Structure 1
């Protein structure tokens, strides 16, 4: 238990130094999860906040839950793509990729879903929470060789202790992370699902943007460098 706490503190120290400015609380029927949105990915940050303001995520569902991998919420790929087929003359609505190597798929990372497009652009209304599992040096070495990318010592330590999904790095945009409610995220990722990875009992959420006062109070609680 002590080592897990130390690792989580290490992760928070790493990101707190960025002095992120926007936070969102996912109010789920399993409890609350608080997300910090990265200022390094402003297009995704602002698109998510805009979608929340429009109510596009009100009473959304975690509709694809794969244990020890991801918990996906919002619209399904099929729903988005079928709707787009109805208006083929319209340009596809996507968020341009904002892939920052320093922002990686550690456990608790917030990512944006996408289809298999060459630009790696993201859907407007699909998010996922990374879960994954602890990685070995050999596994990380293989990922580095495959992607032509080298992890920093801090990133390797986080992947080896806290865990995550390094095979998604550099292919999907990570634009935030969990700072409170990791136990709720774990509970969601552990629910029974059917053969299509849909939870047998609906897991819903409504995101609420924290006020400046709430955000400032939360930042005070996070470890600083």
Structure 2
């Protein structure tokens, strides 16, 4: 009886353990980017997983890329879009309440949004930060402007890895790149035309949840 009880207790404890972070592989025609989704941004993570499993991102483009800044995708109207079509306004028909917290370090996965006072995120559009190295002076300036106080670890990361602190407290970061950052950086450097759209389509072929 005691052995049975111990086995049942072990099973119960295993089921009660918090799930680890979910990973997703963004497969593109330029290579794969694997990201880890933050459990603490549960609304954004769950939404990204849902859309990926539905195939929502399949065939969409990284439609806006800016060196030293970010690459942006997730607009459903970008599928097969003509080169003269204006992109960046499409979505699934809803927005997500913000879960602002994590900084925009190099490799951050964040939600795009329209200008709205509640800072609600786009239902599908996201970006990956490439960013630039920061200095103590640039971080001091961001702290004064935005009323942010960076930890020593965050300051060190911005100075040694880089990012875009000017976006902090305005957009939700809900994950980070774990492999394939070289692919994201290469995409950020492709030749672009109007509205920073690549002249040769950078296609998100599929997003696979691991």
Fold conserved between structures, TM > 0.5: yes
Question: In the aligned structure 1, how far is the partner of 2:141 from the partner of 2:185?
Answer: 27
TM-aligned CA deviation for residue 77 of structure 1 = 3.4
Deviations 1:130-153 (A, max 9, x none): 011001100000000111110011
User: Is 2:26 the partner of 1:26?
Assistant: yes
Per the alignment, residue 174 of structure 1 pairs with 173
Deviations 1:114-139 (A, max 9, x none): 00001101111101000110011000
Runs of at least 5 residues in structure 2 that lack an aligned partner in the other structure: 1-17, 76-86
Per the alignment, residue 55 of structure 1 pairs with 55
TM-aligned CA deviation for residue 63 of structure 1 = 0.1
TM-aligned CA deviation for residue 20 of structure 1 = 4.1
Question: In the aligned structure 1, how far is the partner of 2:94 from the partner of 2:89?
Answer: 15
Q: Is the 8 A contact 1:104 1:166 kept in 2?
A: yes
**SS at the partner of 1:78?**
coil
**SS at the partner of 1:157?**
helix
Deviations 1:143-184 (A, max 9, x none): 001111100111101101111000000000000000001111
- Aligned residue pairs: how many? 181
1:113–1:135 CA distance, 2 compared to 1 (3 A):
same
Q: Is the 8 A contact 1:35 1:180 kept in 2?
A: yes
Question: In the aligned structure 2, how far is the partner of 1:131 from the partner of 1:21?
Answer: 22
Runs of at least 5 residues in structure 1 that lack an aligned partner in the other structure: 1-17, 84-91, 211-225
Q: CA RMSD in A?
A: 1.6
**SS at the partner of 2:199?**
coil
Q: Is the 8 A contact 1:77 1:115 kept in 2?
A: no
Question: In the aligned structure 1, how far is the partner of 2:19 from the partner of 2:116?
Answer: 32
Per the alignment, residue 65 of structure 1 pairs with 65
Give structure 1 regions of 4+ aligned residues with deviation exceeding 6 angstroms: none
Task: Give TM-score scaled by structure 1 length.
Answer: 0.77
User: Is 2:208 the partner of 1:208?
Assistant: yes
Q: Which is higher, the Rg of structure 1 or of structure 2?
A: 2
1:145-224 pair list within 5 angstroms: 145-205=144-204, 206-210=206-210
Question: In the aligned structure 2, how far is the partner of 1:161 from the partner of 1:152?
Answer: 14
